[in-house]
Amino acid sequence: MSPEGAGGEPGNDPADEHPDVAADDAGEEVAAAPPERGPADAAVDDDAGEERLRPPSPAPSRRIPGAARLIGLAGLDRPGRGPFDPRRWRSPVRGPWLTSVFGSVLLVGIPLEFITGLLSYAAYNPRLAGNDPTHERGLLGFWLFNWFTGPTWLFRLTQGIHVALGLALVPIVLAKLWSVIPNLFAWPPLRSMAQMLERLSLLLLVGGAVFELTTGILNINYDYGFQFSFYKGHYLGAWAFMAGFTIHATMRIGRMRAALRSRRLRDELRTPLAATVAEAPSADGLVPVSPAAPTISRRGVLALVGGTSLSVVVLTVGQTLGGPFRRLALLAPRGQSYGSGPNDFQVNRTAVAAGVSRRALDEGWRLVLHGPDGRPVASLSRSELLGMTQTTEDLPIACVEGWSTVQRWSGVRLPDLARLAGVARPAGARVESLEPHGAYSRVELSGDQVRASRSLLALRVNGVDLSLDHGYPARLILPAAPGVHCTKWVSAISFAAEAR
């Protein structure tokens, strides 16, 4: 984080003060325009002056035949004013190279977000009836597969990356949008059919990026003010975003590579503010026609954006790493400690909120096992479960919100319970909670999950009984599965028939 400080003398030319565009003071900006371009205020200018200001590209009327009249009526054949006047864009650090640096980061980051997002969706095993949180995937679920049961940290890793990287991309996306914002005000706004369609696709790109980041941030912070299903919105939005992103990336990757080659990063990192000049003019419309004196160097911009991104990661990623790092996660929703006792780790949905306290503490609680025909085949008290072979596993609770915590769980293996129900190799199972309502009061497990040797019905954690908030009297804990599938306050397990 090494700000380069303001540059240039506080000169007499008022236009020097404005590194950027503003719509409120055309007069000042125009004073700085190169004289050969003519005065910009078309209202007091004659036709000849307007003619000189016309951009060099072919007039719109030649691109879309028969539209000339319409274009004339709409004023599109006159020079752009305000932000539509290219001379008003004066930041000397804007240019294809800088944009391409941000673009190349996003070219890696966005697909990684998409892939980890798809994996997150797959981790819910949405093809099993009742598990799909989106309800609306349609053909967009064509790629789904049975989620893995190992390595145990898999979902912790993919979802941790999804959330931490998503947050890290916030400053990069904003910087990228800042760097190309002059193109929003390109004049004339519609030069050809091709350009019009391309601009339309940018709605998907910009809308998608901002929408996905916003809904993601709101969701991890438990803010559901958007009043639609997060899963549905974030999943469908991601596909619309990727439609725009793929188009944009394929169309611009050539220009991006050329722009990256136009300057050397090593040289930029050695260029101080005083030596910062605009990039060579290009057809992108990003390099200012009349650059202002720099107030920040290019390396200063990179340090600012990269440093901000890094600071966001440092202040949040501790909620995923857990342990001593959680104390660093000052701005993460799971950056608060519960204490140091065996049950003092992150709670998701308290017993009070779930409305299970009385029934969970009831001495008469029984775990009911159902066979494939739906009939109850066994009913076990907590002491009977504790009398069965106990297994201890270190497994994470990893939440879709990105946080996770690894604990030492003890209890009965799910395969042992399946055998007790008379099914040696069940093709699946449904686990139900005492919770009367709530999206995750029940879960459908895949055959792999039921048969995994590390899948536990946990009774104890870190050497003591589970606390009420952590699922007493018994909870599910599954390797590599999303936390919400580790159903708490389990009341019944129904095993499906033998797998073929």
Partner 1 sequence: MSARRSARTGPLDAFRRRYGAGPLHLLSLLACFALAGYVVDHMVHARHGLRILVWFGGAVVAHDLLLWPLYTLVDRAAVRTLRRHPDRLPVVPWINHLRVPVILSAVWLAVSAPLVLRHSQATYHTATGLTENVYLGRWLLLTAAAFAISAVLFALRLGRARRVGSSKV
Site for partner 1 in 323-362 (CB under 8 A): 330-334, 336, 338, 346-350, 352-353
What stretch of H or E contains 458?
Answer: strand 456-461
Task: Assess whether the previous peptide bond of 65 is cis (omega < 30° from 0).
Answer: no
By CB under 8 A, residue 92 contacts partner 1? no
Which 65-84 positions form the footprint of partner 1 (CB under 8 A)? Answer: 65
Which 98-157 positions form the footprint of partner 1 (CB under 8 A)? Answer: 135-136, 138-140
Contact 90, 293 (CB under 8 A): no
By CB under 8 A, residue 322 contacts partner 1? no
Residue 22 CB, nearest approach to partner 1 (Å): 6
Nearer to partner 1, 146 or 350 (CB): 350
Count CB neighbours of 113 within 10 A: 25
Nearer to partner 1, 200 or 424 (CB): 200
- Cα(113)–Cα(102) distance, integer angstroms: 16
By CB under 8 A, residue 210 contacts partner 1? yes
Per-residue contact flags (x/-) with partner 1 for residues 457 to 496, judged by CB under 8 A: ------------x---------------------------
Question: Considering CB under 8 A, how many residues would be counted as binding partner 1?
Answer: 98
Nearer to partner 1, 197 or 497 (CB): 197
Q: What's the angle, vertex CA 106, arms to CA 102 and CA 110, rounded to 5? A: 165
Nearer to partner 1, 320 or 449 (CB): 320
Nearer to partner 1, 143 or 364 (CB): 143
Ordered alpha helix ranges (H), 124-222: 154-180, 193-220
Which 264-283 positions form the footprint of partner 1 (CB under 8 A)? Answer: 273
Please classify residue 193 by burial: count the beta carbons closer than 10 Å to its beta carbon, then call 0-12 exposed, 13-18 middle and 19+ buried.
exposed
Binding span for partner 1 by CB under 8 A among 106-114, 146-154, 310-318, 382-390: 310-318
Nearer to partner 1, 88 or 454 (CB): 88
Measured distance between the N- and C-terminal CA atoms of the chain, rounded to whole angstroms: 60
By CB under 8 A, residue 316 contacts partner 1? yes
Q: Which of 13, 51, 223, 394 binds partner 1 (CB under 8 A)?
A: 223
Residue 177 CB, nearest approach to partner 1 (Å): 6
Contact 361, 471 (CB under 8 A): no
By CB under 8 A, residue 221 contacts partner 1? yes
Count CB neighbours of 197 within 10 A: 10
> Which of 405, 403, 3, 481 shows the shortest CA–CA distance to 167?
403
- Cα(358)–Cα(39) distance, integer angstroms: 80
